[in-house]
Amino acid sequence: MNSRRAALALFAAASLLAAATARAESAAQVFARSCSPCHGKDGHPSPVFEQQGVKNFTDPAWQKGISDAQIEKTIHEGKKGTMMASFDKQLSPQEIKALVAYLRKLGSPKK
Ligand code: HEC
């Protein structure tokens, strides 16, 4: 390989890596930015939202009553007739999966 092509290949690899790291926001960051305004910063909604029927993610009964697949589907599609919008356009399938795991963590806080 001549050195110019090698340099180009290196440059392409470095840009790809930079793009990947920039996108790799943690589920906690995504939750804080996109979900906490309604669901609260620890998954416990503010009283106003709780009155509107927003579930408390820290409640063991809620955790037990919903499957990972249901949570994932709700984040993908939103919930008709509520303020819960679809996040399909903003989040990748991997980010949505990571959020499901994050919601599970909210339900089992460190003792
Ligand atoms: C504009 C306010 C708002 C935002 C932002 C929002 N939600 Fe919701 N969410 C709601 C409302 C309202 C409901 C319907 C009531 C309920 O089921 O808790 C809901 C429902 C849900 C449910 C289903 C709960 C159940 O028991 O069926 C999940 C899971 C959920 N949201 C996760 C998220 C995640 C993850 C994010 C961020 C990516 C998010 N929501 C962002 C308002 C919001």
Question: Of residues 17 and 57, which shows the higher confidence score?
Answer: 57
- Measured in Å, residue 62 CA sits from the centre of ligand 1 at 13
Interval 53-65 mean pLDDT: 96
Residue 19 has pLDDT above 80, yes or no: no
The pLDDT assigned to 63 comes to 97
Ligand 1 pocket residue status of 55, Cβ below 6 Å: yes
Q: What is the mean pLDDT of the chain?
A: 88
What does the alpha-carbon distance between residue 95 and residue 48 come to, in Å, rounded to a whole number? 28
Residue 106 has pLDDT above 80, yes or no: yes
Model pTM score: 0.82
- Measured in Å, residue 10 CA sits from the centre of ligand 1 at 43
Q: Does 10 fall in a domain?
A: no
Number of domains making up the chain: 1
pLDDT band with cut points at 50, 70 and 90 for residue 25: confident
Measured by CA distance, the residue closest to atom 40 of ligand 1 is 35
pLDDT band with cut points at 50, 70 and 90 for residue 24: low
Q: Does 78 fall in a domain?
A: yes
Q: Which domain holds residue 64?
A: 25-107
What does the alpha-carbon distance between residue 54 and residue 35 come to, in Å, rounded to a whole number? 12
Q: Does 20 fall in a domain?
A: no
Residue 76 has pLDDT above 70, yes or no: yes
For the chain, the straight-line distance linking the first and the last C-alpha, in angstroms and rounded, comes to: 57
Question: Of residues 10 and 64, which shows the higher confidence score?
Answer: 64
- Measured in Å, residue 21 CA sits from the centre of ligand 1 at 27
> CATH number, domain at 79?
1.10.760.10
